[in-house]
Amino acid sequence: MNPHQVTVYLVDDEPNVTRALSWLLDSINVPSRAFGSAYDFIAQLDLSGGPACLVLDLRMPEIGGLELMQKLNETGRSLPVIFLSAHGDIPAAVRAIQLGAMDFLQKPFNPQSFIDAINKAMQIARERFELLQSKLTTERLLQRLSTREREVLDHLLAGSTSKDIARLLDISYKTVDVHRANVLRKLGVTSYLDLKRKLEHAQEKCEY
């Protein structure tokens, strides 16, 4: 699988709508998966395979689109979302945007407007996925540090010099430099500036 290939999830209780959307996406070589209800989508949701975005109907039985989006946000599994609705009104659109929706399109939708919205959503999905992968990679590298190396790293990030760290940890200046070099090597960077950038990047908010 292409790691940058985005899957578009379609959630709508009207089969003719998901069929039309699937056909449209297939015409531009974008893979999609259709679900007839929010429950079906939640039960089968798997974000481990790659980047994804979501097209949601506003009004569905049992769980509507806004409620589903809120549930995803609460579990930390938010996706770039486009709402499609024949019942859209200003309060619903405002609420969708407040929850983080990218767009709110009316049925019957304009095919080109939908494709434009999808292209934007896919770009955001790729960026979020890449950020998530970078974060996970950095977390795995951090786990390779010894307890002492992690202490040295924490003090470095707090702005302490090697001399300060030696005094705070009651170890020699030379030992601090050895630990410092090990931290850089294990995290795959060559300078403290690169190290700081890498960790700041890993700590960025990632809502995927």
Q: What is the mean pLDDT of residues 171-199?
A: 87
Q: Within a 13 Å sphere around the CA of 161, how many CA atoms are in the beta-carbon half? A: 3
Q: What residue segments make up the domains of the chain, in order of their start? A: 7-129, 139-202
Give pLDDT, residue 203: 64
- Asked if 139 and 154 touch (Cβ cutoff 8 Å), the reply is no
118 pLDDT more than 90: yes
Tell me, rounded to whole angstroms, the distance of Cα 143 from its chain centroid: 22
Backbone dihedral angles phi then psi of residue 7, each to the nearest 5 degrees: -95, 135
CATH superfamily of the 7-129 domain: Response regulator (3.40.50.2300)
Q: Within a 13 Å sphere around the CA of 13, how many CA atoms are in the beta-carbon half? A: 13
Rounded CA separation 196/192 (Å): 6
Give pLDDT, residue 54: 93
Residue-by-residue DSSP string for 17-55? HHHHHHHHHHHTT--EEEESSHHHHHHH---TTS-EEEE
Residue-by-residue DSSP string for 137-154? HHHHHHTTS-HHHHHHHH
Q: What is the mean pLDDT of residues 89-101?
A: 81
202 pLDDT more than 60: yes
Give pLDDT, residue 63: 82
Q: What is the mean pLDDT of residues 118-133?
A: 89
Q: What is the mean pLDDT of residues 22-29?
A: 94
Rounded CA separation 18/26 (Å): 12
Mean per-residue pLDDT of the chain: 85
CATH topology of domain 139-202: Arc Repressor Mutant, subunit A (1.10.10)
